[in-house]
């Protein structure tokens, strides 16, 4: 009877907690659907720009999975390569094929080289071997060097989100927030105070992750470490404001964890850790709503492509807007504590 009574109590507790039921039954289906859309498409199709390539070679390359895009001038093709609209540019140098790879994604570079491995030289039964150079990256660059910059941003975002959500929730559940709001302090001062306090530890954590990845793990790096710290700072600030905002809708640490499948997992899928080529165009637009997408893009531009501040200014601006938006929503969420 005691076991039965305990079982019935737990069952009724779960039935009343709709959020836990959603985490148990809906969240796995949601994540599996995202995985299906991201990985259920076709494989990587390399995009190769061609400049002055003879028709026999074009025909041979067309038989592979590569997508060929003819250009009139090498400057035009190189410009699109630098904008990541192409994976490689094929041209002729003194009658010999020359291949310029974009190079920042080793998997796409390998796809281009595999396409050429399937093309036979006109005068021999051997794979065509063009002269290969890299616009970014280097030969033999590992996958870790490619997705590592995104991992730096992801770990900073994830742990700061949990830290902020749990710590801010504890302030509310222990009565500290209620006593604080009984004073003449204004809502925006509360938000700024908590963000400043939590932010000091978040900044140290973000800097530690970035410095460890670059100088200890030896991650490929061509840009400025100060720009990496700037982007990581904005990412942690965004995670901090988002975590404190969502903590207003939770009543326990467990409910903070329940936000992870809905907030953190989509961030990881759309951040650039996984190829999004096979995704439907309408779903791909969701990347623009993900702060981690902008952070990962900026970190890759800095570390792999050597971009300066001008090259990441859009990503930096969007992250700053996200931080301001979440901070403003935090101020509004404090209205239920006390109207000031």
Lowest mean pLDDT among 109-123, 218-232, 242-256: 109-123
Query: Do 207 and 130 share a domain, yes or no?
Result: no
Query: Do 90 and 205 share a domain, yes or no?
Result: no
With 70 as the cut, is the pLDDT of residue 153 above it? Answer: yes
Query: Do 103 and 125 share a domain, yes or no?
Result: yes
Q: How confident is the model at residue 327 (pLDDT cuts 50, 70, 90)?
A: confident
Establish if 208 belongs to a structural domain: yes
Query: Do 103 and 243 share a domain, yes or no?
Result: no
Angle at 291 between CA 286 and CA 294, to 5 degrees: 90
Query: What are 192's two structure tokens?
Result: 């700024």
Q: Which of 60-69, 76-85, 242-251 has the highest mean pLDDT?
A: 76-85
Establish if 121 belongs to a structural domain: yes
Residues near 75 by beta carbon (within 8 Å), at least 6 away in sequence = none
User: Do residues 319 and 234 make contact, with C-beta atoms less than 8 angstroms apart?
Assistant: yes
pLDDT given for residue 325 in this prediction: 92
User: Do residues 69 and 83 make contact, with C-beta atoms less than 8 angstroms apart?
Assistant: no
With 80 as the cut, is the pLDDT of residue 75 above it? Answer: yes
- For all residues of the chain together, what is the average pLDDT? 79
Read off the pLDDT of residues 3-46 as tens digits, 9 standing for 90 and up: 777 677 766 766 777 766 666 667 677 777 777 776 665 566 78
Report the predicted TM-score, pTM, of the whole model to 2 decimal places.
0.80
Query: Do 98 and 178 share a domain, yes or no?
Result: no
Establish if 153 belongs to a structural domain: yes
| DSSP designation for 121 | P
Query: Do 241 and 176 share a domain, yes or no?
Result: yes
Query: Do 95 and 179 share a domain, yes or no?
Result: no
- Provide the residue count of the chain: 340
Establish if 261 belongs to a structural domain: yes
User: Do residues 297 and 234 make contact, with C-beta atoms less than 8 angstroms apart?
Assistant: no
Establish if 127 belongs to a structural domain: yes
Query: Do 202 and 293 share a domain, yes or no?
Result: yes
Domains held by the chain: number: 2
User: Do residues 219 and 144 make contact, with C-beta atoms less than 8 angstroms apart?
Assistant: yes
Q: How confident is the model at residue 114 (pLDDT cuts 50, 70, 90)?
A: confident
Query: What are 320's two structure tokens?
Result: 């700053």
Residue (of 70, 33, 38, 82) closest to 279 by Cα position: 38
Query: Do 162 and 299 share a domain, yes or no?
Result: yes
**What residue numbers bound the domain in which 203 lies?**
143-336
Q: How confident is the model at residue 279 (pLDDT cuts 50, 70, 90)?
A: low
Query: Do 130 and 178 share a domain, yes or no?
Result: no
240 strand-pairing partners: none
Q: How confident is the model at residue 313 (pLDDT cuts 50, 70, 90)?
A: very high
Helix (H, G, I), strand (E, B) or coil at 14: helix
User: Do residues 324 and 245 make contact, with C-beta atoms less than 8 angstroms apart?
Assistant: no
Query: Do 214 and 320 share a domain, yes or no?
Result: yes
Query: Do 99 and 151 share a domain, yes or no?
Result: no
Give the Å distances, CA to CA, from 110 to 53, 143, 161, 231.
21, 11, 36, 29
The CATH code of the domain that includes 126 is: 3.40.190.10
Burial of 4: CB neighbours in 10 Å, binned 0-12, 13-18, 19+:
exposed
Establish if 1 belongs to a structural domain: no
């Amino acid at each position: 009877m005691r076991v039965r009574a305990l079982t019935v109590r737990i069952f009724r507790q779960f039935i009343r907690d709709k959020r836990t039921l959603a985490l148990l039954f809906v969240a796995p289906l949601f994540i599996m659907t995202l995985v299906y859309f991201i990985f259920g498409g076709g494989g990587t199709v390399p995009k190769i720009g061609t400049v002055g390539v003879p028709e026999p070679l074009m025909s041979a390359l067309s038989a592979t999975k590569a997508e060929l895009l003819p250009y009139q001038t090498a400057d035009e093709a190189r410009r699109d390569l630098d904008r990541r609209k192409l994976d490689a540019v094929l041209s002729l140098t003194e009658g010999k094929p020359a291949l310029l790879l974009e190079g920042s994604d080793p998997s796409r570079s390998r796809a281009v080289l595999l396409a050429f491995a399937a093309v036979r030289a006109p005068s021999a039964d051997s794979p065509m071997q063009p002269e290969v150079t890299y616009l970014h990256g280097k030969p033999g660059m590992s996958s870790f060097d490619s997705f590592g910059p995104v991992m730096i941003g992801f770990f900073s975002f994830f742990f700061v989100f949990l830290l902020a959500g749990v710590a801010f929730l504890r302030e509310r559940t222990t009565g500290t927030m209620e006593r604080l709001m009984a004073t003449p302090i204004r809502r925006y001062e509360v938000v700024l105070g908590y963000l400043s306090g939590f932010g000091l530890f978040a900044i140290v954590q973000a800097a530690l992750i970035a410095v460890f990845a670059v100088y200890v793990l030896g991650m490929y790096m061509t840009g400025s470490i100060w720009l990496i710290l700037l982007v990581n700072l904005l990412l942690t600030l965004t995670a901090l404001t988002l975590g404190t905002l969502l903590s207003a809708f939770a009543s326990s640490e467990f409910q903070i964890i329940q936000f992870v499948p809905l907030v953190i997992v989509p961030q990881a899928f759309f951040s650039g850790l996984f190829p999004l080529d096979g995704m439907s165009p309408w779903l791909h637009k969701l990347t623009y709503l993900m702060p981690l997408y902008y952070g990962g893009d900026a970190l890759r531009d800095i570390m792999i492509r050597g971009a300066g501040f001008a090259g990441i200014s859009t990503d930096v601006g969007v992250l700053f807007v996200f931080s301001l938006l979440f901070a403003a929503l935090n101020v509004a969420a404090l209205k239920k504590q006390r109207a000031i």
